Structure 1
């Protein structure tokens, strides 16, 4: 139960801090932190919670990471569903708190604002299509998992693993915010989509399928690449 609570809190913090930076920046254009600020906010949420509660649960905060670690042999299959459930609940709770804060500004519209949801085509910040969105989400999630596997292997300086993982997530956002508004995390996408509704929910399937596919592919590579220095720890 402590591990599940840690996953809930970590994912809650990721959605509140990461998506919150984008939503509040959009709500207050004069105080906007821009692409770099939002990217850094997402990286910092993972970095801080990985240090805070990572020792309790492994610090996944992401269903694609949990699935990938399972395929890589770093995490037991029996714990995947409970972890993913805790992550989804944390994402919804984070989105709920964010919605309450954001709507505290008169005239703020959750749907019209986009509420930091992910999308392709007309819902892509840069107008990118389905193929580009699927590719960037799959490849970058795969790269993220490889960083996690390498940073937490027995040959790595594991005390610095949260720093490498947080910086990797920052880099991912710098690349992909213009394409999909960056998911690489099905829980993060689901939490805000439930509040935005409509097209955000209609396109949510991609932000489960592509990150999971990318994570599984990277896990299979990681099983071979890090085999000599593998460890049973997840992060």
Structure 2
């Protein structure tokens, strides 16, 4: 097994790439409307970040990039409890550094403001792209994260075709964003939500609780449900190889 410090650095780097690629595509596309990539482009950007990092660091850290994934894998008996907190800390640092870099780059455009849409924060009510209420945002995040973890657990199962897990996981994250960007701007990842919210502050920070509670709840349910369906499996990384 790769030593924990190296795995933590890989998680930091991977989460940095996820937030930079996903939130960065949303922020910079909004900054230049004539070149905008739209919801579909942002959704694809998030999926591609996970896919590329899964092939790059999956064999090092498992490529979780997401506290909900880490906790969901633990609930599915795929990850040791002793490593949960260090992984989450590394993911939060990576997400916050990426949000800061996005702000640094975006602030170079005249008229840019560090408002909620300036860092692609997640939210409900006034912070929801489509104006969706709290209960809709909560249900959406629980269900989307549940589906994401089912795909992760299933595609990394030792009985699944080997080597294709990153593709299934990346495409599932793309699909999730296509569904839920209008509702919450899509989290399914507490680290992705925390980095931008810490910099924006205000209402974005007040609403952050939902984007911890709902994704973690969905992930735990998925871990339990998948174990019920498939039984316990050896601990794999996100590419399906043992770590």
Residue matched to 2:241: none
Q: Is the 8 A contact 2:59 2:237 kept in 1?
A: no
Q: CA RMSD in A?
A: 0.9
TM-score scaled to structure 1, two decimals? 0.98
Runs of 4+ in 1 over 6 A off after TM superposition: none
Indicate whether 1:234 and 2:237 are aligned. Answer: yes
* Contiguous gaps of at least 5 residues in structure 2: 239-243
Q: Is the 8 A contact 1:145 1:218 kept in 2?
A: yes
* Contiguous gaps of at least 5 residues in structure 1: none
Indicate whether 1:70 and 2:74 are aligned. Answer: yes
Indicate whether 1:82 and 2:99 are aligned. Answer: no
SS at match of 1:110: coil
SS at match of 1:159: coil
How far, CA to CA, are the matches of 1:156 and 1:70 in structure 2? 19
Residue matched to 2:43: 39
Deviation sequence 1:100-143 (CA, Å, 0-9, x none) = 11101111001163410001011111111011100000001010
How far, CA to CA, are the matches of 1:226 and 1:85 in structure 2? 30
Indicate whether 1:106 and 2:110 are aligned. Answer: yes
**Alignment partner for residue 188 of structure 1, among 186, 192, 198?**
192
TM-score scaled to structure 2, two decimals? 0.94
Residue matched to 1:143: 147
**Alignment partner for residue 215 of structure 1, among 209, 214, 219?**
219
SS at match of 1:41: helix
Q: Is the 8 A contact 2:116 2:127 kept in 1?
A: no
Q: Is the 8 A contact 1:62 1:185 kept in 2?
A: yes
**Alignment partner for residue 123 of structure 1, among 115, 124, 127?**
127
Equivalent pairs counted in the alignment come to 234
